Amino acid sequence: MAKKDKKSNTLPIYILNGPNLNLLGTREPEVYGYTTLAQIEQMCADQAKTHGLSIVFRQSNREGELVDFLQEARTGASAVIINPAGYGHTSIAILDSIQILKIPVIEVHLSNIHRREPYRNHSYVSKGATGIVMGLGAQGYLRAVDAVAHILKAVK
């Protein structure tokens, strides 16, 4: 279980990543870019730190494990940033887990899913998300961290 950041007394932001995102940097770089997931994790940690926040960064290729992470976030996170990858287009289980949360949820997609294949144009996750960032590549994660910081500051 995640612990509160000592300086801000705020639970960490959970940043969850779905299937195949472990292959970033080499998988279809013309679509997803050359930034690796490890680089995105470091960028997010650095960005969160500028807001006095911390992160828990995870990736799974398994839908059930992502559901487990979301359930853990109910009591262990101040907010969730999720790139559900392919599960965004198919997973009602992930949507259900997000809708149970009482914390902000920002959905992130590296590409603009509305400019992709028709089966990618819909995201179940969007129905449960507080906000969505898409089409900005790795920078989208940083904008999501900024959005979460703004939302958390507004509710203090």
- 26-56 residue pLDDT tens: 988 887 888 999 999 999 999 999 999 999 9
- What is the per-residue pLDDT across 78-111, written as a single tens digit (0 to 9) for each? 999 999 999 999 999 999 999 999 999 999 999 8
Q: Count other C-beta atoms under 10 Å from residue 16's C-beta.
A: 24
Count Cβ atoms within 10 A of the Cβ of residue 39 and give its class: 0-12 exposed, 13-18 middle, 19 or more buried.
middle
- Site of tokens 């292959």: 23
State the pLDDT at residue 113: 82
d(CA 106, CA 87): 15
State the pLDDT at residue 3: 60
- What is the per-residue pLDDT across 131-151, written as a single tens digit (0 to 9) for each? 999 999 999 999 999 999 999
Does the pLDDT of residue 8 top 60, yes or no? no
Beta strand pairing call for 131-134 and 79-83: unpaired
pTM (2 d.p.):
0.92
- Quick one: pLDDT band at residue 117, thresholds 50, 70, 90? confident
Q: Is 150 a catalytic residue?
A: no
Does the pLDDT of residue 14 top 60, yes or no? yes
Q: Is 51 a catalytic residue?
A: no
E runs forming strands in the chain: 13-17, 55-59, 79-83, 105-109, 131-134
The catalytic position among 32, 87, 124, 141 is 32
State the pLDDT at residue 5: 54
d(CA 82, CA 107): 5
Q: Determine the CATH number of domain 13-155.
A: 3.40.50.9100
3-state percent breakdown (helix, strand, coil) of the chain, nearest 5: 50, 15, 35
